[in-house]
Structures are given as C-alpha cells and as structure tokens.
Amino acid sequence: MAKKSRTPAPPRKVQAPQRRSAPRRPGPFAGRRGLWLTSGLAALGVIAAVVAAVVAFTGGGNSASTPQVPENSNLAGLQTGPAPWNQGLDTLPDRLKPLGLHDLTNEGQVVHIHQHLDIFVNGKAEPVPANIGIYDGQFLTELHTHDPSGIIHVESPTKGQFDLGQFFGVWGVRLNADCIGGYCRQVTPWAVYVNGQTSAGDPAAIVLKEHQEIAVVIGTPPKQIPSTYKFPAGL
C-alpha cells in the first residue's frame, strides 16, 4: 500500500524591519572625544601663538640681520665738554666693537670715499684734529683723518655704509639728537648742514657719501654756511 504524501506547511509571515524613529544614543566616550578634539585645537592655537611671538621677538632667527649699534652717548670715554675736542684715542679700542668697526693694519679699498667736516661754535671755526681713528701707529679704523683739514677718510675692506655717528664715535665726541659734545639744545641751539641744507632728525644717522660738505653749527652761526669743499686732486 502506497504512503500518502505530506502536504507542506504554509510559509511563515516575515515582519518587515522597522525604521528606528528615535536617534541613537551616543556612546559613553562620544562626549569625551569631542572634548579632546576641542581641547587639542585650542592647545595647537596656543602653541602657534607662542611660536609666532618668539619669531617676532627674535627677528625670525635671521643671523644675518643688521646689528643694532648702541647710541653714541653710551660709548666709553666720550668727550661731553665744549670744543675744541682732542683725538679721543685713549679709549678708542673700547669703542670699536660697539660701533661695528675694526682695527685694521691697512686702509681698505672696497669703500674709499671722502667728506669734509666743519665745526663752528658761535661763528668761530673749531679744529677737527689729525689722526682721529689712528691708534699710535698700531692700527687704524675704517673712518679716520690724516691731517687737520677736516677731511674724513672712509676706507673699508668690506662693502657697507657708514654714518656720521660712527665717525663721532671714533672721535670720542658725544653726538645724538639732543647734544653735540657739551652743547645740548635745551641750552645752546645747534644745527647740522649737509651741502648747505639743514639736516633734520638725528645727525648721527647721516650716511656718509662721496664729497659731502658737513657743517656742524653751534650757537650763533657764521656769516656763511659752507655748501661745498674743494677736495685735493686724487681725493
């Protein structure tokens, strides 16, 4: 006798997945992760600010930046009395390094220019001594004189600019925006002229250029302010 075949059971109904209507709860470290991220960004901002401040303060770490020459008034052995002033050689070696100058064995030729300097006090011409910047035959500086004519010799073995403040520093005479030697504006008026024209500002910053006529006029001016000088042949 043949067996009856079993009728298969009907398929089960499968419920479709329900879309989650409520947002997923954050895990226990989610808030900490956001806090860490915020704190990290803040810390990076602080570090960047500190680095920027250090760079600004140090000038970016550029070792080739121009050194700051101290004010003439702070140099050793300055003459702060009335003219005439001597050669100022006693403390010259102590002033060279602060002035950015050197003790040379020979006159330099890379920069080789000349200027003429007049000093007038109440209309009277005062001397500019010979051998300013020449130390007892042992060395000379880039800025010096050879005779009492008032001619300044700028003779350097390296390229660069030099100013009137450096020359007066070599001479050992105070020169700044207020005083020349023992003459200060509050008591005695004075002015500096370059090629006959009044130079405004700090006279120490006057850049020395070829064949300038520089006149320092203290108190009552002379009848005529010189504007040119006839340099000898070859200078």
Tens-digit pLDDT profile for residues 200-226: 999 999 999 999 999 999 999 999 999
Tens-digit pLDDT profile for residues 106-152: 999 999 999 999 999 999 999 999 999 999 889 999 999 999 999 99
Residue 137's pLDDT is what? 85
What type of residue is 55? V
CA distance 165 to 74: 12
CA distance 215 to 223: 13
Residue 74's pLDDT is what? 83
The predicted model scores a pTM of 0.71
Distance of CA 161 to CAs 100, 113, 210, 235, Å? 11, 11, 11, 18
